[in-house]
Structures are given as structure tokens and as C-alpha cells.
Structure 1
């Protein structure tokens, strides 16, 4: 595999960290210093005491660079664990999107029909618009958004990806 193809390899990293100020900036800085983009970033508190957070980062890069980033992340003091879900094996990833579509007549009917096919939930409605909530793989959301662009897409917001290894064990 030559370098151009390697650079396109997608990786989903989960990072368990102490919930303290500045850690997200340090982590983002590791990517920035190497010129790699973060495609998706989510952060959430995962403990009752609000002292540990889980960061999920989606990025693209050749395996040696991802390995180097992972090793440097592991050396940061507030980092407990770094896992590359892409390398471990099968994992589940999901994203939430809110999609506003304006339209009347046939476009309105078609938007509702497609929302049903995609299992999107109507969370707000007026006589001239809908806000749909859609959860799923990023590709599913991309497909739904592409169809809604033809029917009157007004705006959208996406949460970013959350991923977890399949099976009974923790990553």
C-alpha cells in the first residue's frame, strides 16, 4: 500500500481521561502538531463522581502516525487509557443528528415518508417545517441529509460519533 492510500485510513479512538480543565486542548494539540484533522470529537462524563470523561475521536492517517499519536496520548498524565477501536475488532458507532426541513405539499409528504423509512423521529413541527431526530451510523445520516437537501433542508446539527467495542468486555 502506498502512502496516499495509507493516509486515508480511518481510525476511531476512545480516550478515558481525568475530567480536568485543559485536557481537551492538550489532546487536540497532539493532532494539530502533526497536521492531522479531527473528523469527529465527542466528550462526556462517564462516572457518578464527575471525575472521569470519555473522549471519542475520529481521524484519518497512516497506522504509524496513529500509533505515534496513541503512544503520546498515553503519556499525558490525566489520560487513563487510549483504545483504537478500529484495530481491536468489530465495534458499534452511532451519531445523533437534528435535521430541519422546510416544505409544503408533495415535498412535505415526501420528507415524512423518507423520515419513516430512515426511522427518523419528528421532534418539532410547524405548518411549514419539521425537525427530525435521527440516530445511526454516520453513513445513514449522510444518506438522509442528501435526500433532505432535495426537499428543503434548512439546517442540521450533528453530535459526533460515539463508539464502543462489541461483546461483553470493555475496550
Structure 2
């Protein structure tokens, strides 16, 4: 089977890394070198002494390429651990978005109704617009944003995906 014919799969990778200058560029470079896109990338400091960060990467690719990327990430000196959450069993993933919607009258009422259905919170309001905060899976956020396009979507800011393995084990 040729690479073009291989089935691509979505994978959520969780990395714990030393907080070092340039580590993010090195990690992104591994994906670029293989010609694969990073769909989402988040980074956060996770220790009190600021020495360790967690990087969550969402990407798509054939299983053999994902395996190669994981192996190469694992060999980088500042990388402490790489976990493919997609393959390691059940995990929780969430994304946060701020969605600004303009509208008056019926459009305003419809925006509020949809926000309630999606459990989005109003975090700012004026007489002509709202800013909603929504959290959930990427699919949930995508659906909410797409519905708001027809009402008066003005702007969207998204955090990217974060994920963590379920249960008592660390990812």
C-alpha cells in the first residue's frame, strides 16, 4: 500500500517535557519534516517549580507514521514521556472557545437558545452582541460555531485540545 492510500487516523498525543527554550520548535519540526500537520497544540506548565510542561498535540496520519513520530519524540532529550491517548484507552479531551455573536431581536433570542442547548456561558454582553464561553469536544465546539455563523458570528478564539487519560494512571 502506498502512503497516499494509507488510512489516516486522528491521534491525541500527550508529552511531558522539560521547560527549555526551543523544545516546542523541535517538536513541531518533527511533524513538519514528515509533512504532517498539527491540528491542535497546547502547552502548559504543570509543576510548582516551572520545570515541566505538558504539551498536547492533535494530528492525523497513518498508524505507521504516528508510531514513527512517537518514537522520534521519545528520543528527544528534553521529552520525559510521550503517551498516545488515542491508543492508551479511554481519555477525556476538552477544548475551550470564546465565540462572539452579534445580533438583535430574533437573532439574539436564537443565539441565547442555542447557547443554553450547548451549555455555553455568556461571559460578556452588550445590547448588540454576546461573547459565549463553550467547552467540550472539538466536534461540539465546531457544531456550536457553525450554528452561530447563520446568526451573526463575529469572531472565534479557541484554546486547542487538552487531554488526560481516565482512571488513576498518569498519561
TM range (shorter): over 0.9
For the residues of structure 2 that align with 1:168 and 1:109, how far apart are their CA atoms?
A: 43
In the TM superposition, residue 21 of structure 1 has moved relative to its aligned partner by 0.4
In the TM superposition, residue 153 of structure 1 has moved relative to its aligned partner by 0.2
In the TM superposition, residue 8 of structure 1 has moved relative to its aligned partner by 2.3
For the residues of structure 1 that align with 2:148 and 2:63, how far apart are their CA atoms?
A: 36
For the residues of structure 2 that align with 1:93 and 1:116, how far apart are their CA atoms?
A: 21
In the TM superposition, residue 169 of structure 1 has moved relative to its aligned partner by 1.2
In the TM superposition, residue 7 of structure 1 has moved relative to its aligned partner by 4.0
Q: Is the 8 A contact 1:7 1:60 kept in 2?
A: no
In the TM superposition, residue 30 of structure 1 has moved relative to its aligned partner by 0.3
1:22 counterpart residue number: 22
Aligned length: 171
Q: Is the 8 A contact 1:42 1:55 kept in 2?
A: yes
In the TM superposition, residue 127 of structure 1 has moved relative to its aligned partner by 0.3
Residues 4-43 of structure 1, C-alpha deviation per residue, up to 9 Å, x if partnerless?
A: 5644201100010000100000000000000000000000
2:63 counterpart residue number: 63
For the residues of structure 2 that align with 1:27 and 1:62, how far apart are their CA atoms?
A: 18
Q: What RMSD in Å do the two structures reach over aligned CA positions?
A: 1.3
Q: Is the 8 A contact 2:8 2:63 kept in 1?
A: no
SS of residue in 1 equivalent to 2:87: helix
